[in-house]
Amino acid sequence: MSQELDEIQAIFFEECAEGLTTAEQGLSAMAAGDVSAEVIAGVFRAVHSIKGGAGAFGHAALTAFSHRFENVLDEVRAGRIAPTPAVTAVMLTAFDILSDHVAAAKGTAPLPDDAAALAALDEVLTGKAAVTPAAPLPAPVAEADEFGFTPVAAVVEEFDPFGFEPVGVVLEELEPAGSADWTVRFGPSRAALANGAEPLLVVRELEGLGGQITGVDADALPGLRDLDPEDSYFIWTLSVPGTVARADIADCFDFVSPDSVVEIERVATEAPAVIAAEPLVAETPPTLASLPPVAPAAVAPATSPAESVRHVEPPAQTIRVELTKLDMLLNLVGELVIRGSILADRLSPADQQRVELPELARLTREIQDNVMSLRAQPIKQAFSRVPRMLRDLSAETGKQVLLETLGEMTEVDKGVIEKIGDPLTHMIRNAVDHGIESPAERVAAGKSPEGTIRLSAEQKGARIFVRVADDGRGIDRARVRAKAVEKGIVAADAALSNEEIDQLICAPGFSTAETISNISGRGVGMDVVRSNVEALGGRVEISSVPGQGTTFTMILPLTLAILDGMVVRLAGQRYVLPLAAVVESVKPEPGQVRPMSPTSDVIELRGNYLPVRRLTDVFGFATNGSRAPEDSLVIIVESEAGPVGLMVDTIEDRREVVIKSLDQNLHPIRGLGGATILGDGSIALILDVEALVGGAASTFHPLKGLAA
């Protein structure tokens, strides 16, 4: 049971994450000036759902905070607080705290200190209270009535005095006396039970508002023989004190499925609640089946327009699927592809020409594409945490930064999205700390005081380009170079091109910051970016114009599961070389490959000497006397350290391979990016070019050697 609860809780947190994303987008839009009712209502709904779910799971701190936040949002939504930039800023801060609260509820972070944010929210609310009488109100009567209730609403402890929902739309519900008790009828639908909703919790919540059960209508209860234990037959009648705002009662039913019976009625002032309940029960149709249409009508007037919109939303068109199941599916499809090619290999050429086989291959490919698209997610998920980070960074550094995002709907494999979070964080921090200047410096340089960071994603072929561009001061190459020399990363007399200098900032331990700040300066940042991106089979490009800004580009594969590779043969074994790294292949002439030292060779290529690695040596495989270079092929690959030649025996094929991880059953092996299964069922190892070329020594040694 507790496991089930955990699962439901996990769904709640997923929904929280979605809600937070929606809220953040809405708030960002508001900050950008779009204060349409739709946007505000969207934020309100998101926060409201988080509150509701948090309440159901007993996350008191989260509930309390989201409630206070919601109050302000509600006032904004109702037009009683103008969404001025100042108010939006308070709400953005509140949103950040809300995210922290969610993390705390999840147990991944300590409980945030929300006092300041709460105070700011309250200030916004009280500011509104002072303005209210003068402001034109859509329903003054309702307003007055609400204020009449205000002092007593505070009976419910954690609800602050402004916790009511606007009830301007339900004028007809208002009784002059305003104190008559509510009669609430609640009949959970069958669906509610099937969804795991516990009616008792709703009843308890009503009791928390001071409600009492006055009757249970069991007319619909069939004989024991016909009883379906999973169906719901009872309709409860509760009496709730008239001092409770209707919206608070309606709130209790937020998470009750829409076809449940929910009726909230005021009883005539004199009539005791129990008596009033009697006729209602008598009117009740004997079966639940005929009731459902009543329910939405009964709920709708009680809730605001935005809420009723939510109730009429069509049933969700999505289902949640565990990622592992998708992975399994992807794996199986990969198998199918492999089996397909095994089959094709076995058939005679005549049979291979028949239409069925290409047809099968096409279908398999389509299945594969579809499965891949299932794992694809908009890159927005990775971008979504950037706005908050920028707010924090701006607060820390005093720099003003605007964020522009482009192409956030670009779809990328889920695995890639998960892994670019870290590099992205470092790139953004780097851009703010090193790129963007302080407002004063910017003005002095003739720029607007606000810096701009442009975050963009686009797909080109099978690669994704993620760019972080700032309009800051650009890379100070003289300083980078001086630092690199000082740290011994390059030789003092090395002649380095601008691009090479730019690449230096990705060197391990490199930092130009004079002081180590919270933000950067430890010299790990860009090194992490580079190694993470390379681990994904991508690379980082840097371009910088002094005084105008720097652009970091992460070039990533669309998927981590399939690789376009070149199958090479080496000492009798087949290996796959990622095609992305291959520049060209050379059949050396006698004398073109020369030994530079007993253990290393160089190849002369169009006047340049490039290092050559014999893979058999790198891997330490015993060979029966090394082949002469003329009998081998040198494949020139692009690496961080520039082009390097890899000596292999022959090239066999070019094909897409499904990557199987080695560390699932073994452990990562340096120089290998994984393994794949070829058409004949045998295994080929996938080479990790960077690791092979870099070797155990520092990656920059080859560069030093070359440049010096």
Partner 1 sequence: MSAIDTPGERKIVTFSLGSQMFGIDMKALIEIREWEDPTPLPGVPAYIKGVTNLRGTVVPVVGLAERIGWAPSEVHSRSCILVVNIGGNQCGFLVDEVTDIVLIKAEDIQPAPDVETHENVITGLVQITARAPDGTQGQTGAMVSLLDLNTLSLTRQMDFAA
| C-alpha atoms less than 13 angstroms from C-alpha of 114 in its C-beta half-sphere | 27
Instruction: Tell whether residue 694 is a contact of partner 1 (CB under 8 A).
Output: no
Q: Of 240 and 685, which has the nearer Cβ to partner 1?
A: 685
Q: Of 609 and 621, which has the nearer Cβ to partner 1?
A: 621
Cα 546 from Cα 544, distance rounded (Å): 6
| The only residue of 154, 666, 701, 708 in contact with partner 1, by rule CB under 8 A | 666
Q: Which of residues 552-581 bind partner 1 (CB under 8 A)?
A: 573
DSSP per residue, 653-681 = EEEEEE-B-STTTS---TTEEEEEE-TTS
Cα 576 from Cα 652, distance rounded (Å): 10
Instruction: Tell whether residue 672 is a contact of partner 1 (CB under 8 A).
Output: yes
3-state secondary structure of 689: helix
Instruction: Tell whether residue 670 is a contact of partner 1 (CB under 8 A).
Output: yes
Instruction: Tell whether residue 317 is a contact of partner 1 (CB under 8 A).
Output: no
Instruction: Tell whether residue 324 is a contact of partner 1 (CB under 8 A).
Output: no
CA 334 to chain centre: 27
Question: Of 467, 439, 433, nearest to 451 (Cα)?
Answer: 439
Q: Of 528 and 618, which has the nearer Cβ to partner 1?
A: 618
Q: Of 508 and 668, which has the nearer Cβ to partner 1?
A: 668
Longest dimension (CA), the chain: 110
Q: Which of residues 595-624 bind partner 1 (CB under 8 A)?
A: 618-621
Cα 185 from Cα 203, distance rounded (Å): 10
Instruction: Tell whether residue 681 is a contact of partner 1 (CB under 8 A).
Output: yes
The DSSP bridge partners found for residue 636 are: 584, 645
- Full 3-state SS string of 569-601: EECCEEEEEEHHHEEEEECCCCCCEEEEECCEE
Number of continuous H segments (helices) and E segments (strands) in the chain: 25, 22
Q: Of 593 and 678, which has the nearer Cβ to partner 1?
A: 678
DSSP state of 512: -
For the record, the structure tokens of 85 come out as 């930039």
Instruction: Tell whether residue 393 is a contact of partner 1 (CB under 8 A).
Output: no
Q: Of 150 and 661, which has the nearer Cβ to partner 1?
A: 661
Instruction: Tell whether residue 386 is a contact of partner 1 (CB under 8 A).
Output: no
Residue 620 beta carbon to partner 1: minimum distance, rounded to whole angstroms: 6
Question: Of 385, 185, 211, nearest to 288 (Cα)?
Answer: 185
Q: Is 26 left (phi over 0), alpha (psi -120 to 50) or beta?
A: alpha
Question: Of 361, 333, 347, nearest to 561 (Cα)?
Answer: 333
Instruction: Tell whether residue 655 is a contact of partner 1 (CB under 8 A).
Output: no
Instruction: Tell whether residue 338 is a contact of partner 1 (CB under 8 A).
Output: yes
Q: Of 213 and 618, which has the nearer Cβ to partner 1?
A: 618
The DSSP bridge partners found for residue 455 are: 405, 468
Q: Of 400 and 573, which has the nearer Cβ to partner 1?
A: 573
Of 13-21, 418-426, 497-505, 681-689, the segment contacting partner 1 by CB under 8 A is: 681-689
| The only residue of 671, 673, 694, 702 in contact with partner 1, by rule CB under 8 A | 671
Angle at 626 between CA 623 and CA 627, to 5 degrees: 120
Residue 656 beta carbon to partner 1: minimum distance, rounded to whole angstroms: 16
List for the chain the helix, strand, coil content (%; round to 5): 45, 20, 35
Instruction: Tell whether residue 373 is a contact of partner 1 (CB under 8 A).
Output: no
Instruction: Tell whether residue 677 is a contact of partner 1 (CB under 8 A).
Output: yes
| The only residue of 684, 689, 693, 703 in contact with partner 1, by rule CB under 8 A | 684
Residue 661 beta carbon to partner 1: minimum distance, rounded to whole angstroms: 8
Q: Of 318 and 324, which has the nearer Cβ to partner 1?
A: 324
Q: Which residues bind partner 1 (CB under 8 A)?
A: 331, 334-335, 338, 573, 618-621, 660-667, 669-672, 675, 677, 681-685
